[in-house]
A and B are shown apart, each in its own frame.
Chain A
Amino acid sequence: MSATPTTNYAEIFGALRPEAALVLGALVVLGVDLAFGRRRSEAARLRTSALIGLAAIAVAVCSALGAGHAGAVVDGVIVLDSLGVATRVGVLGLSGLTLLLAPGTSRLRHPAEFVAILLFATTGFTLMAVAQHLLLAFLALELASLSLYVLAGFDKTRPESAEAALKYFLLGAISAAFLLFGFSLLYGLTGSLALPDIARHLATQPTSTLLLVALVMILVTFGFKAAAAPFHLWAPDVYQGAPTAAAALIASASKLAGFVLFVRLLWSGLLSASGDASTLAGAPGWMPVAAGMAGLSMFLGNFVALAQTNVRRLLAYSAIAHAGAMLLGVIAAGAAGPGPVFYYAATYGLATVGAFGVIAVVDQAGGCHQLSDLAGLYRRSPLLAGCLLVFILSLAGIPPLAGFFGKFAVFAAALRIGGVAGPLGWLTLAAIFLSAIGLYYYLLILKQALVIAPAADRGRISTPANAALVLVVTAVLLVVLGLFPSVILGLF
């Protein structure tokens, strides 16, 4: 690069204030617990740690908003644009909700460590949101992923948790290797690690086989992060085995950050290798592959979800189906901008955090594994039942909730690319019809919660105040964002 290699630490710190706040917060959490936590109960330590963590997240949100839209900073390694700022605030919000959910609904052996690692994961997410440089992108992704592996295996009393963590880690490590290999090929092809430079170099050279290999490697990792078929196999086990708060984080903030990272990577870095998915004979590139993954995910996710009896596994397969729809949004982001896919991922994250929140509370009151464990929720806790109704209907895409509008915006954007005539159009129509199938299994959850009478031995559930706050805030957000989607769409 031609820029002078003087390092401006003030500029770096200015751009990374949210991350600094999170890391500092994590250290304070550990220090306070070390100093004062000895004699106190685990629940009290979790409360203190969560409170400090929330404060750190609040500071991070303020500084993320305060950083403004400065554009590319620190020699183009970091980009502070509207997408970056919105994603930072989005992942911080989702992580904050997850963290607020934890006290009272999780029994953890090492609460301070859990909170600290959650903050480190969030640091990874916020970096992913603004990374415009392959090295930073990889580091951010790995920081987030390694933290998530630990979080998934945090419940040492249950073998499922260890199994989930191991499976997640092994597959994640392989996918990271693929990503690194893909990045190194890109570097070899273009001689640069910065996305704008890569785009400039790629535009001048014809699509080579080597580039296609690099693309495939990068897309494998993308599929893994997004839990898109055929790289989805970890999702059901992790959703089922991980502690609920960890599963919620993996399903929400991690998804949002991953999608934004890859939108940036694919569109601003690999634009000239996008190929064409609007006709069958289109040029090869990442777009046809992404379209294939989208179609496969939607079919597989929706149909396999029909057969699930475990709530978390059902949510996992529904997540796979949603990942397919979000991939459509990634493809459409070129023409319609990142607005629709960001809106989709953010509101999907909200609904998922809410759904996991309900599961966590029910879990504390006698277990929540099978669908039938939700039976009679309307009588055991009207609050939980009402909130679950909002979350599930939002996932199903029923207006006026945000999930409907996310789907609508993504599908409208995808159809505008090539009409209904090409493969992309067929895929969109298939997605619309598959959402009707999705309603079936979502209604199965709601049927248990709102129609079936509770089993005789199940009493009322008391919801901890912090969890109730999370659930109500999430439900209200889903309604408000659904009624006024311009609040988010207008940002881009």
Chain B
Amino acid sequence: MTALPCTIYISFLGALLALVAGARSAAAARWIALVTAVTAWLVVLASAVGFQAGPGLQTLVDAAWIPELGVRYHLAVDGISLTLVVLTGLAATAGILFSWNITHRAGEFFALFLTLIGGVYGVFLSADIFVFFVFYEIAIVPKYFLIANWGSTNREYGAMKLVLYSFAGSALVLAGVLWAYAANGGQSFALADLAAAAANFTPGQQIGMFALVFTGFAVLAGMFPFHTWAPTGHVAAPTAASMLLAGVVMKLGAYGCLRVAMPLFPVGFVFWQSTIATLAIIGIIYAGLIALVQEDFKFVIGYSSVSHMGFVLLGLAAANHQAVAGAVLQMFSHGVIAGLLFAVVGRMVYERTHTRKFSDLRGLPLHRLLPFAAITFVIGGLASMGMPGFSGFPAELTILIGTWKTSPLWATFAAAGILVAAAFTLRAIQVSFFGTTDQSVPAAPGDHGHAHDYDPITWPERVGAILLIGATVYVGLKPDVLLQWIGPALQSPFFQTVLKGGTP
């Protein structure tokens, strides 16, 4: 339990070592990165085994940091953050496995990757908003360099757009948090203290603060209409970065909404509740429809991420025990599934065929050329559609049931979004991997028959894919393993204020 903060330090240390080792050899850098990520993940899993679920945050570290401003270095964990920390470890490990072929400036790549991971661990473990914010911003800058240096399509544009959106979002958060801090007389940044103080704020103040903080975080969570960074950024990013961006970084935004914005400003939340739900539903359906007409394989996954994150935001907006628990489960589930899909598209397919255009892929019998990729993608697709047996099913079902309790209308619209998701996923599977079943389509010139000789799928790819598939199946069959952590955490008085206030 108390070893959890080590995940942050291990990641930063590993980043430094990978940077130094990378100057000599790429292999050394990637092994250091893998060992770092796995070690951190094992620390997480070991802590998870001994975790006693209960209401409220369980303090890990609490030390004075900047007494002049009342900032304490306070790290704590509850069931929600533990779920996401487990996800981070998994995504980091899988991401490094899928970056095994990086040779260009490998040391810097893995150093940035691990810095990002360290920041993400820090955010999930923070119980002081200042600390939270510091880690949140540490996680922003590496994204720019990961995408601009190692990305593909339109990478410099995508990188800059993504980083400016993230930073603008964090500026909103900073403004809201400083406002609350100043209104409280500038005593403390502790979540608990600010929540207690917020009870005395006027409704107008709460509405304003909530709008700033929630919008800031929702930008990173990909809420419509602030989602446009996500598809371009995900497409431009190298595989591991896309996996991490969609898998974990978008969750930072949703986590911030849940951990900071909602419990601190419950009155503000109630005021904005239906707006958030509406935007979430628009995001689910709109992004799904856009995914349906994409010609770039990776854009489909990019927009699908926005659509699936819409479910998370809807669950938060519904604000009852079930819906919020489902939202957290969906964060985990989408993190795993999006990672899997990006891995197939970016690493297994694109790095071999050097195209992501459906018109090109249609002419390739990929299911025969890359059977492992095809199987993985079909599994990932099924999970993404919310088929029973995979993690997407319990997550989205719980969200829908919870949402129904708050507003049957919202739930109906959101259910339509699941149909759209099924449509674009099936289309992607069909067109990309099973395109040549239609013999009338002429093969492109020079693409005659089985002239393609792609490198076989390597062991790191297999291990990474199996890890991710294993996670989605395990949680799909036994969602209780996470829900028994999440449920008690939501019982804390901290969340109960907003969960009660949120139910009409």
Residues of A within 8 A of B (CB): 339, 378, 382, 393, 398-400, 404-405, 408-409, 411-412, 415-416, 419-420, 428-429, 432-433, 435-436, 439-440, 443, 446-447, 450-451, 485-486, 489-490
Contact = CB atoms under 8 A, between A and B. Distances in A.
Contacts of B137: 398-399, 404
A428 B179 CA distance: 10
20 contacts: A398-B141, A399-B133, A399-B137, A405-B66, A409-B69, A411-B174, A411-B178, A412-B178, A412-B186, A433-B175, A436-B164, A439-B163, A443-B160, A450-B149, A451-B156, A486-B65, A486-B68, A489-B66, A489-B68, A490-B68
Contact of B68 (A339, A415, A419, A446): A339
B183 A447 contact: no
Interface residues of B, number: 38
B241 to A, nearest CB: 14
Contacts of A446: 144-145
A412 B181 contact: yes
A420 B204 CA distance: 12
Nearest to B131: A399
B174 A432 contact: yes
B148 A416 contact: no
A450 B67 contact: no
Contacts of B23: 382
Interface of A is mostly: helix
A436 B68 contact: no
Given A415-B182, A432-B175, A433-B168, A440 B160 contact: yes
B69 A436 contact: no
A450 B186 CA distance: 39
Which 9 residue pairs of A and B lie closest in terms of their CB atoms, listed nearest first?
Answer: A415-B182, A399-B134, A489-B68, A436-B168, A436-B171, A416-B182, A451-B148, A436-B167, A432-B175
B179 A439 contact: no
A408 to B, nearest CB: 8
Given A409-B69, A412-B181, A439 B167 contact: yes
A451 B145 contact: yes
A339 B68 CA distance: 10
Interface of B: 23, 65-69, 105, 108, 130, 133-134, 137-138, 140-141, 144-145, 148-149, 156, 160, 163-164, 167-168, 170-172, 174-175, 178-179, 181-183, 185-186, 208
A419 B183 contact: yes
Contacts of B179: 415, 419-420
Given A419-B183, A443-B160, A398 B171 contact: no
B99 to A, nearest CB: 18
B427 to A, nearest CB: 35
Given A432-B174, A440-B164, A447 B156 contact: yes
A15 B172 CA distance: 47
A347 B168 CA distance: 24
A485 B73 CA distance: 13
B190 to A, nearest CB: 15
Counting chain B CB atoms within 10 Å of each CB, which of A405, A411, A429, A439 scores highest? Answer: A439
Nearest to B68: A489
Contacts of B65: 486
Contacts of B149: 450-451
Contacts of B141: 393, 398
Contacts of B208: 420
A398 B163 contact: no
A303 to B, nearest CB: 15
A318 B134 CA distance: 23
Contacts of A489: 66, 68-69
Contacts of B134: 399-400, 404
B149 to A, nearest CB: 5
Contacts of A451: 145, 148-149, 156
Contacts of B172: 433
Contacts of B183: 419
B138 A435 contact: no
Nearest to A483: B65
A47 B49 CA distance: 63
B138 A400 contact: yes
A443 B163 contact: yes
A64 to B, nearest CB: 23
A486 B174 contact: no
Nearest to B19: A386
